[in-house]
């Protein structure tokens, strides 16, 4: 049973930082494409960042240079370090996992390719 549990959300002022964590269990963590998505009311869930098996990463243009995705294999944990936060970053952030993907597939950050999701954590920037 695959389980993803996010933590680290909260309310911050513009320009501040947050780090989100996602604890993963129930599968061969290292073989999965992992990612962060976000969603605001009335909008589609959008890809923010993804990381492949070997640590290669890809980011949405809107967060490039401000967000960093990383993974700790020993702790089966995914992270999203967010700096210089903007009000438009306000959203519910979701951790997601996709098994057995090529990097080409993973890098596209297509929501439908990710079969496992966490419950989400709210990030509010004012």
The region, left, alpha or beta by phi > 0 then psi within -120 to 50, assigned to residue 74 is: alpha
Sorting pLDDT into bands at 50, 70 and 90, what band is 53?
Answer: confident
pLDDT over 90 at 78, yes or no? yes
pLDDT one-digit tens code per residue, 5-50: 999 999 999 999 999 999 998 876 566 899 999 999 999 999 999 9
Average predicted confidence (pLDDT) for the chain: 93
The pLDDT value given to residue 29 = 57
Of 39, 70, 41, 66, residue with least CA distance to 56: 70
């Amino acid at each position: 049973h695959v389980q993803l549990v996010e933590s680290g959300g909260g309310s911050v002022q513009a320009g501040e930082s947050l780090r989100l964590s996602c604890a993963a269990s129930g599968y061969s963590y290292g073989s999965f494409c992992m990612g962060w998505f976000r969603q605001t009311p009335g909008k589609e869930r959008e890809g923010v960042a993804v990381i492949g098996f070997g640590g290669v990463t890809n980011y949405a243009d809107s967060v490039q240079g401000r967000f960093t995705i990383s993974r700790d294999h020993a702790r089966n944990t995914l992270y999203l370090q967010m700096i210089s936060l903007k009000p438009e970053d306000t959203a519910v952030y979701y951790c997601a996992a996709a098994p057995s993907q090529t990097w080409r597939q993973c890098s596209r950050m297509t929501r439908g390719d990710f079969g496992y999701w966490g419950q989400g954590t709210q990030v509010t920037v004012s």
